Each structure stands twice: as C-alpha cells, then as structure tokens.
C-alpha cells in the first residue's frame, strides 16, 4: 500500500492533522495507524469511564463514521515496527509495508515506569489509556485500598475516579507538594485541602522504595520505612515522549522530536506533534515539551495543513490546564512559580471564594493561576498568548469585573471585530 | 448603554417556558445568560461567542463535544459529550463560555436555533447589536 499522507497515532494530534488535510485536500489518500483497537477516543475521558463505565460510543472523540466520512484508511490495533525514513515506508507488525509521501509522527507518550522493586506485580497499573482504565475497573470488585504514586494531573485524576468508586486512596508524591509543575504553592495547598476533605491522604516528599506482595500487591513501602497496605497501585509519575521510531534515523530528537514552526522535523516530509514533539512554547520563547491535549490538536492541525501544501505557522503553545477535582475548579497556564530572579512580577488576589495570580515579565503575562472563579481566565490567557503589553491595565486584571472593556480600545475593538469569522 | 436586556432575553430564550416572568420566578435553576455585558466608565458593550473561524474552544475540547458546523459556521456544544473539564473556558480569549455547575456542563451562545435573528439582537432597544454574516452584510436587513 502507498498513501499520500500517513499518520501514526490516532489521538488529538493525528485527528487534528487528518481533519486539516481533508479541509484542503479532498482526494489525497490518508491512512492512520493506531496500536490501540479503538477509534479515536477522548483520553482524558478515561477517569470518567472509571467512575461511570461509559460506553465506548460516548467516549469517542469523533463520530464513529469519521474515517468513512473523510475517506481515511484506519489501521487499528497495528504497531509500526520500523520507519524507513529514506525509503519513505513503514513496516507494520503484521509484515505489511506502507509507502508514504508525507508522514506525521503523532505517537504520543508512554507512562514512565519507575525503577522500583515489585513494579511488575499484579495489581500495578498505569493510567493513560482506555485499556488501563478497563483493567483497573475489572480489578476493583475485590479492592478497597489504592496507592497512587505521583501527584501530577494523571495521578490526581486517577485518585478522584478511584475515590468515587469507593476506594480508599493514598497519594504519594516525591516532591514537596502535589501538582507542583502546573500550580503554585498556594493553589497546590488548596487542592491538598480539598483532597483531605474527601478523605484522601496525601503524602509528599516521599519516594516509594518497594511494592510488596506475592503474587499480588499488598503494600507500598516508602523511603521513610512506612508501609501502606493496599490492593492496587496506580503509577502516574509522568509520561515520556515515544521516540523509538526515530532511533537510527537522522530525525533530530532532543527530549522529544524537534519540530519547526511548521511542525516539520529535520526531515522535510516528516512532521510531528503532540506529546512526542518538542514544539514552540510562546512563554519560554523556545521549543519545549508541552504534553497537553489542546496543543496536540492545534499542532496536528498546523502539521496537516503544511503536509497538504498550505503553509501555516504554529502560533506556539504553552502548558495550560483546566482542572476540576471534587468540585474545585482551577485554570492555570505558563510559568506559575517563577524562579527567584529579578524581572518577574507576581500579582495576587485572594478572597474566601477565590484565588487569582498572574505573573508578568516586562509587562507581559507569562503565567496565571485562577482558583474557583475561572470564567475570565480565557481573557487573561488570550492576552498572554498574544504577548499583549498589559502595563497600562495590569492592576485591573485580577478585579472581579475584569473584562475586555478594561483593555485600551485600540486593543479590544480590533479583537472583537477581527474575530467575527463564521463560515 | 449597559441595560443588560440582551442578557435577560438570552436567558428567556434558553428557558423552558420562554416566558420572562416564569423563567425568572419559577425555573430552577434559572437559565444562564450566554453573553456578557461589559461596562467600564462610559463604555459598554455586549460580548458573545464570535463563532471564530479558527475556534480555540473547539481545538481545545478534550472530548469532541464542541463542534463548528461546516455549513452554518456556528460553534455548538453537544452537552451529552461535555464532561465539564472547562478547558474551553481557559482557551476562549473572549471569556464567553460559562459553567453550568449544577449540570457539570458548559453553556454557550448557539445563535438561537430556530429563530431568524438571535434574541439578544431582537431585544436590543438601542439597536447596538446587529446580526450580520461573515461577508459583513447585515442579515437583519
């Protein structure tokens, strides 16, 4: 088989690319390969699945007939064994060889497995795919207690889902506070208080030295020597870019696959996006891994347009997350806890109901944390993304009634008028 | 002039009864307005969903609940698929997506399906709101 466009990966980035290609090229053949057996589904939905056991149909990221409607060959439950970057082919695990003219590597990340004794025992799970959620679900009938290793986004999502299933959960976080890469200290504390009220124990500043039990998990042993009895363990210490296909090729890889502002790799006809790619971050003004869903989709979209010959620049992404745990809503983006060096200015406002903070550098927004009252967070994120000089109105940004009207008219008027673009 | 009538009639339009008094006095929860009037000093304007050509909310949606219709250009939410993660709220530079915290879903402007002209425009007493299509032509006549 030979196709014009080959997309490896079937999640946000791959779908973003496929949709963009079909907007501008109705005829060019597209194939998408996934090593999962499902049509594209919403990965962040897996925590909801674990709580409510939704049908696959409800979890689908695009309608079931998406591939047919867009004339896309979908090769599900198939793994790419090797990438012929010079011959412009890939070889699948069933021996098939597929030729391509433009290739997108939207392969995502793999959960990091810690070098801890017992991590291969029965009852130890990762939590990034639907199959992980299904495996945990099956295990829960005879489980009462869980330890979640890692207090990041995935860890806290898993915790909430397990707690809602009636499981007693303990989170073990290596650093001093949970969600330490996406929240500042105060917001982390607010989340920890919320978890505490939900009877979830949060242990910080501790590593796991052993997962004990034979043959099934029965205890997690901490660096302090404390043993925490449990029936299952969820390992959520992070995800690393899945760069294996690039090994032995000339494709430039740093921590992830390095892409330019067109989402092209160092090979002119190979593109990349999503969790595997190191793409432009507009806050840091350099390439970084920002493994979040919206950046994957937009990066995929830009890649797809460029693959189809419509030159498009990636506007850049940055870390941006909206969380809603146990009814606590938080929106955060960019640099939330700046290093102790001159040049950063933090403005904060805290009431009983909300906590808001923005970080500025040279009168431009570089970071934000909004807790509880998040509905204006998008306006602030928009100013951050567009690198607007907010010097003349920065004191108003945290006001309750802040809105576009606080911006100078020469900023708000063109923003409102230019955006009107139905069609 | 900051009368907020567009917000009121948006709420009525999206109520069960479609009657102002019933919607405000009897419906619980009261429907949320899907646009926002902003006022600062002498300036006042209504901000509603722009139904952007490149909609950041649709691109940010984690579940595929937000969708831009190819033909009409209208950005709508499928509430069945919305999980209330609020990622779209952080992505929208106009701040026009609201949380319905009771339902755990977003609400947003749908341009009043079934109506020729959206309720906010119809009821704007000062004709400050107009309804126009992409080409800039005034559909309102």
- Site from B34, B49, B53, B63 to mutate, A interface, most A CB atoms within 10 angstroms: B63
Confidence of residue B133 (pLDDT cuts 50, 70, 90): low
Tens-place pLDDT, residues B81-93? 999 999 999 999 9
- A residues 195-234 lying closer than 8 A (beta carbon) to B: none
Using a CB–CB cutoff of 8 Å, tell me whether A61 touches chain B: yes
| A68 Cβ contact partners less than 8 Å away, ≥ 6 residues apart | none
Contact B51 A422 (CB under 8 A): yes
> Chain B residues with CB inside 8 Å of A381's CB?
90-91, 93
Contact B38 A415 (CB under 8 A): no
Tens-place pLDDT, residues A358-376? 999 999 999 999 999 999 9
Among chain B residues, CA nearest to A47: B83
- Calpha distance A176→A184 (Å, rounded): 12
Residues on chain B bordering chain A, Cβ-to-Cβ distance under 8 angstroms: 36, 38-40, 43-45, 47, 50-54, 56, 59-60, 62-64, 72-74, 80-81, 83-87, 89-95, 97-99, 101, 132-134
Contact A403 B52 (CB under 8 A): no
Tens-place pLDDT, residues A155-190? 999 999 999 999 999 999 999 999 999 999 999 999
CA distance A226 to chain B (A): 35
pLDDT at position A422, please?
A: 45
Number of Cβ pairs < 8 A linking chain A and chain B = 134
- Residue-averaged pLDDT of chain B: 90
pLDDT at position A313, please?
A: 98
Q: Which of B53, B64, B90 sits opposite A322 (nearest CB)?
A: B90
- Residue-averaged pLDDT of chain A: 95
- Site from A275, A333, A378, A407 to mutate, B interface, most B CB atoms within 10 angstroms: A378
Tokens for B120, please give them: 């906010």
Using a CB–CB cutoff of 8 Å, tell me whether A372 touches chain B: no
Among chain B residues, CA nearest to A384: B93
**Strands (DSSP E) along A76-156, which ranges?**
80-84, 89-92, 97-105, 109-111, 124-125, 145-149
Contact A375 B81 (CB under 8 A): no
- Calpha distance B79→B66 (Å, rounded): 9
- Per the CB < 8 A criterion, the answer to whether A145 and A231 are in contact is yes
Q: Tally helices (H) and strands (E) across chain A.
A: 10, 25
- Per the CB < 8 A criterion, the answer to whether A321 and A292 are in contact is yes
- A residues 284-323 lying closer than 8 A (beta carbon) to B: 293-294, 297-298, 301, 320-322
- Calpha distance B103→A331 (Å, rounded): 19
Q: Which is more confident, A340 or B96?
A: B96
Contact A404 B59 (CB under 8 A): no
- Calpha distance B86→B105 (Å, rounded): 8
Tell me which residue has tokens 């639907």: A130
> Chain A residues with CB inside 8 Å of B63's CB?
42, 44-45, 59, 61
- Calpha distance A103→A267 (Å, rounded): 10
Name all domains of chain A by residue range, CATH numbers in brackets: 2-110+241-307 (3.50.50.60), 113-237 (3.50.50.60), 330-419 (3.30.390.30)
Calculate the CA dihedral of residues A367, B60, A275, A123 and round it to 10 degrees.
100
Describe the crossing of helices A185-197 and A153-164 by its angle, rounded to 10 degrees.
10
Task: Check pLDDT > 80 for residue B132.
Answer: no
Confidence of residue B130 (pLDDT cuts 50, 70, 90): confident
- Calpha distance B134→A106 (Å, rounded): 34
- Calpha distance B83→B78 (Å, rounded): 10
Q: Which of A329, A385, A422 sits opposite B73 (nearest CB)?
A: A422
Contact B134 A420 (CB under 8 A): yes
CA distance B140 to chain A (A): 16
- Calpha distance A52→A63 (Å, rounded): 20
- Calpha distance B57→A294 (Å, rounded): 9
CA angle, residues A319, A323, A324, in degrees to nearest 5: 175
Q: Coil, strand, or helix at residue B92?
A: coil
Tens-place pLDDT, residues B5-59? 999 999 999 999 998 999 888 888 889 999 999 998 888 899 999 999 999 999 9
The pTM of this model reads: 0.95
- Calpha distance A5→A27 (Å, rounded): 11
pLDDT at position B26, please?
A: 87
> Chain A residues with CB inside 8 Å of B50's CB?
416, 419-421
Q: Which of A322, A382, A409 sits opposite B93 (nearest CB)?
A: A382
| A344 Cβ contact partners less than 8 Å away, ≥ 6 residues apart | A335, A338, A359, A360, A361, A366
Contact B43 A42 (CB under 8 A): no
- The DSSP symbol for B132 reads B
Contact A378 B89 (CB under 8 A): yes
pLDDT at position B138, please?
A: 44
Across the 423 residues of chain A, what is the mean pLDDT of every consecutive 10-residue run? 98 98 98 98 94 91 96 98 96 97 98 95 97 96 96 97 97 98 96 97 97 95 97 97 96 98 97 98 97 97 98 97 95 92 91 92 97 96 96 94 92 78 45
Task: Check pLDDT > 90 for residue B110.
Answer: yes
Q: Coil, strand, or helix at residue A218?
A: coil
Tens-place pLDDT, residues A87-128? 999 999 999 999 999 999 999 999 999 999 999 999 999 999
Q: Which of A134, A131, A128, A129 is nearest to A150 (CA)?
A: A128
Name all domains of chain B by residue range, CATH numbers in brackets: 1-48+109-132 (no CATH), 52-107 (3.30.70.20)
- Site from B59, B90, B97, B138 to mutate, A interface, most A CB atoms within 10 angstroms: B90
Q: Which residues of A77-95 are buried (b: 16+ CB within 10 A; e: fewer)?
A: ebebebbebeebbbbbeee
- Site from A322, A326, A365, A397 to mutate, B interface, most B CB atoms within 10 angstroms: A322
């Amino acid at each position: 088989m030979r196709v014009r466009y080959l997309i490896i990966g079937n999640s946000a980035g791959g779908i973003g690319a496929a949709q963009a290609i079909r907007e501008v090229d109705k005829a060019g053949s597209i194939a998408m390969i996934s090593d999962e057996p499902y049509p594209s589904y919403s990965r962040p939905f897996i925590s909801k699945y674990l709580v409510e056991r939704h049908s696959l149909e409800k979890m689908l990221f695009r309608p079931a007939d998406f591939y047919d409607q867009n004339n896309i060959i979908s090769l599900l439950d198939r793994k790419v064994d090797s990438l012929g970057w010079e011959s412009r082919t890939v070889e699948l695990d069933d021996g098939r060889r597929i030729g391509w003219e433009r290739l997108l590597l939207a392969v995502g990340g793999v959960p990091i497995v810690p070098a801890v004794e017992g991590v291969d025992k029965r009852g130890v799970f990762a939590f990034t795919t639907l199959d992980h959620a299904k495996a945990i679900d099956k295990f829960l009938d005879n489980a009462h207690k869980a330890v979640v290793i890692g207090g990041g986004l995935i860890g806290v999502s898993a915790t909430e889902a397990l707690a809602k299933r009636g499981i007693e959960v303990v989170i073990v976080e290596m650093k001093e506070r949970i969600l330490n890469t996406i929240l500042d200290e105060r917001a982390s504390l607010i989340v920890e208080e919320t978890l505490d009220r939900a009877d979830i124990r949060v242990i910080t500043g501790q590593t796991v030295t052993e997962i004990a039990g034979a043959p099934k998990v029965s205890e997690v042993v901490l660096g302090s020597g404390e043993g925490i009895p449990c029936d299952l363990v969820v390992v959520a210490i992070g995800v690393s870019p899945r760069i294996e296909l690039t090994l032995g090729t000339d494709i430039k890889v740093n921590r992830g696959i390095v892409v330019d502002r067109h989402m092209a790799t160092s090979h002119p006809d190979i593109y990349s996006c999503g969790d595997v790619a190191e793409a432009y971050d507009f806050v840091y003004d350099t390439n970084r891994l920002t493994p979040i869903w919206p950046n994957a989709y937009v990066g995929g979209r830009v890649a797809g347009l460029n693959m189809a010959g419509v030159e498009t620049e990636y506007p850049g992404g940055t870390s941006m997350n909206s969380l809603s745990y146990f009814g606590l809503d938080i929106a955060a983006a960019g640099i939330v806890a700046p290093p102790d060096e001159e040049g950063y200015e933090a403005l904060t406002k805290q009431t009983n109901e909300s906590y808001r903070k923005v970080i500025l550098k040279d009168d431009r927004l570089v970071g934000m944390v909004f807790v509880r009252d998040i509905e204006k967070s998008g306006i602030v994120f928009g100013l951050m993304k567009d690198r607007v000089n907010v010097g003349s109105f920065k004191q108003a940004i945290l006001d309750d009634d802040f809105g576009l009207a606080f911006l100078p008219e020469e900023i708000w008027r063109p923003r409102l008028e230019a955006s009107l673009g139905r069609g | 002039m900051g009368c907020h009538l567009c917000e009121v009639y948006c709420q009525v339009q999206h109520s069960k009864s479609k009657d102002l008094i019933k919607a405000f006095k009897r419906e619980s929860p009261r429907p949320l307005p899907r646009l926002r009037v902003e006022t600062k000093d002498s300036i006042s304007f209504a901000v509603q969903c722009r139904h952007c050509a490149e909609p950041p909310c649709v691109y940010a949606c984690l579940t595929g609940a937000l969708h831009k219709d190819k033909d009409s250009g209208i950005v709508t939410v499928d509430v069945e698929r919305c999980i209330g993660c609020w990622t779209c709220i952080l992505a929208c530079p106009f701040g026009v997506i609201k949380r319905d915290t009771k339902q755990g879903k977003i609400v947003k402007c749908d341009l009043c399906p079934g109506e020729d002209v959206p309720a906010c425009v119809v009821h704007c007493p000062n004709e400050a709101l107009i309804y126009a299509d992409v080409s800039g032509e005034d559909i309102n006549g």
